[in-house]
Amino acid sequence: MAKTILAVDDSASIRQMVAFTLKGAGYDVVEAADGQDGLDKAKSKSINLVLTDQNMPKMDGLTLIKSLRALPQYKTVPILMLTTEAGDDMKAQGKAAGATGWLVKPFDPQKLLDVVKKVLG
């Protein structure tokens, strides 16, 4: 059964690119436009990996991560932050929120696939 990845980003073009890339590699992809949307979708579907942007309207990435970690079914699911800032503070916050790791934007599709493979296999 294919693994399902939740891609959360308020930019439609980024979401499309990520979805296209991951689907091409055989994963199922669920898209969400902001943290709240992502949380709702995560609750209603079984997700194997979450990719989330940080700056989004309604609910930002860190809050989404914290909210997901508070759900029993998402305590150990890998969550990666997509961030344009690779600074220490953002990483510290991500780690504190419960993220599994990070990926710096802009990234090229191949890198995305490498990272996802590392995590999901």
Residues contributing to the site for another protein (CB under 8 A) = 10-14, 16-17, 20-21, 24-25, 33-34, 53, 55-60, 62-63, 75-78, 80, 84-95, 98-107, 109-111, 113-115, 118-119, 121
Sign of the Cα torsion 120, 116, 52, 32 reads negative
Tell me whether residue 28 or residue 107 sits nearer to another protein (CB atom): 107
C-beta separation of 5 from 29 below 8 A: yes
Least separation in angstroms between residue 42's CB and another protein is 16
Least separation in angstroms between residue 30's CB and another protein is 14
Tell me whether residue 28 or residue 76 sits nearer to another protein (CB atom): 76
Tell me whether residue 28 or residue 113 sits nearer to another protein (CB atom): 113
> Number of helices and strands (H, E) in the chain?
5, 5
Least separation in angstroms between residue 9's CB and another protein is 8
Burial class (CB in 10 A: 0-12, 13-18, 19+), 22: buried
Give the residue among 65, 49, 73, 71 at the shortest CA–CA distance from 98. 65
Q: Which helix or strand (DSSP H or E) is residue 79 part of?
A: strand 79-83
Least separation in angstroms between residue 101's CB and another protein is 3
Tell me whether residue 44 or residue 89 sits nearer to another protein (CB atom): 89
**Hey, what are 3's tokens?**
């693994």
